[in-house]
Amino acid sequence: MRGARVLNLAALVGLAGWSAWAYPSLPATYPIHFDLAGRPDRWAEKGPWLWAGLPLVALVLSALLHSTRAIARRTPALLNVPRKDLYLELDATARERVLDRVAGFLDVTALLTTLLLWGIQAIVWHTARTGSVWSEGLLTGIAVWTLVVVGAGTVLHRRIGAEIMELHRARRGEG
């Protein structure tokens, strides 16, 4: 899904730029962990590498998720899909159809993860500067992210399983 990749790249650049812009306005200490009620319960001294942590995590996760297609092309057995035995029997063209679906889902997941990490970074910045906690925003963001990714992943899992079965039947001439 090329659109999700482009949007994720824009979000990564935005996260890095916003983090660089926000860093000078951080106080000497800022929260790095929140309890379940959304209150800060661990603080750190201001430092550029710690502040850059979430943007770097977003970058590494995005790179890993985007590289899945290339890895799965070289080593199809590494891809975890339903009916993997049938998937591995498919020719490269048929496997590519399945891989397109998986890669599209992972591209969207990378984008949503980058946006979630940007939201967490913004909440940390806001809390550090104002002392006010956006716990509802943090918890809502995490809940929505989880529901979207798990829900879409569940639907995709079923569709991929059905598509593998269909491709396998077509390969055997039963289609």
Predicted confidence (pLDDT) per residue in 56-74, tens digit: 999 999 999 999 989 999 9
Query: Quick one: how far is CA 80 from the chain centroid?
Result: 17
Residue 175 has pLDDT above 60, yes or no: no
Q: What is the dihedral of CA 155, 147, 112, 116, to 10 degrees?
A: -170
What average pLDDT score do residues 137-162 get?
83
**pLDDT score for 36:** 75
**pLDDT score for 111:** 92
Residue whose structure tokens are 């770097």: 56
pLDDT band of 7, cuts 50, 70, 90: very high
Among residues of the chain, what percentage have pLDDT more than 90? 54
For the chain, what percentages of helix, strand and coil (3-state, to nearest 5) are there?
80, 5, 15
User: What are residue 31's phi and psi, to 5 degrees?
Assistant: -70, 145
Average pLDDT over the chain reads 89
In one-letter notation, the amino acid at residue 51 is W
CA distances from 147 to 151, 153, 155, 172 (A): 6, 10, 12, 37
**pLDDT score for 117:** 92
Predicted confidence (pLDDT) per residue in 16-40, tens digit: 999 999 999 999 999 998 887 778 8
Per DSSP, the residues of 83-100 read THHHHHHS-HHHHHHHHH
